Amino acid sequence: PHPAKGKYQVLGAILFSGGTLEWYIEQFGYKERIKLEARNVYSMLLNKAKSTDIGSSGLIWFPHLRGTLADSTSRGALIGITSSHRKEHILRAVIEGLCYELRSTIESYEELLGLKIDRIVAVGGATESDFWLQTKADITGRTIEVPSILEATSLGAAILAAIGVGIYKDYYEATDKIYKVRKEFKPHPERSKKYDSYYQNIYKMIYPLLRQLNIRINRQFLSK
């Protein structure tokens, strides 16, 4: 149940989504660099990724590093890599892959609930990257809204506490007074059109094509 009367929460997750960036940083040797250099290596890496073409020059990241809630046998994949791809292409593909997976999740919600989702509220560390947020808007085709207070858990606790002690009469009054939008990102028509083609014609095919292969891989390497 949702704190607002008559509403419910539908929970879902992209497993290891934020952790994927940390995985990339560790595997490509940036972890020690972060410790040694007194500058924002995350920002530097994302700026390099931003400098590449949308679609990562045909490189597709399938972000199932820890499977999914529905299928633990599913595995991640880096598809379409060639000798011309660089580390920044891979990072951009990682960002795009996570956004494709978010779109897939949103579409599942819409089908299940029979409604249209046109706005997403984004919180957490990834909201520090405008590039990531704009990519999320372009791929999902939805407006991305970033609240002024990024610590969503703390904000939610404060709202519930304020209602509990009688400062606000209900959830709606509390959020109207407390919740403020810091910035928002709208889909760019041209980029969204390209991303929609990549999503419909490539990304949506990956899971069914890899499913039996991943089952075999798990049997070969994980079975006792």
Please give the C-alpha separations between residue 14 and each of 97, 102, 105, 118, 178, in angstroms, as whole numbers.
11, 7, 8, 19, 28
Rounded mean pLDDT for each run of 10 residues along the chain, 224 residues in total: 85 91 90 71 92 98 96 97 98 98 97 96 92 99 95 90 95 93 98 99 98 96 79
pLDDT of residue 38: 53
Q: What is the rounded CA–CA span in Å between residue 38 and residue 41?
A: 9
Q: What is the CATH number of domain 17-116+189-222?
A: 3.30.420.40
130-140 helix and 189-198 helix, angle to the nearest 10 degrees: 70
Specify the pLDDT at position 175.
Answer: 92
Quote the pLDDT of residue 66: 96
pLDDT value of position 7: 87
**Would you tell me the crossing angle of helices 152-164 and 171-178 to the nearest 10 degrees?**
130
Q: How far apart are the first and last CA of the chain?
A: 41
Name beta bridge partners: 147: 181
Question: What's the CA gap between 61 and 79, in Å, rounded?
Answer: 6
- The span from the CA of 88 to the CA of 66, in Å, is 23
Can you say whether the dihedral through the CA atoms of 22, 127, 40, 60 is positive or negative? positive
Residue with the two structure tokens 């000798």: 83
Res 158: pLDDT: 92
Distance from C-alpha of 149 to C-alpha of 154, rounded to nearest angstrom? 9
Residue 214 contacts residue 74 (beta carbons within 8 Å): yes
Domain residue extents for the chain? 17-116+189-222
E-assigned strands of 101-158? 119-121, 143-147
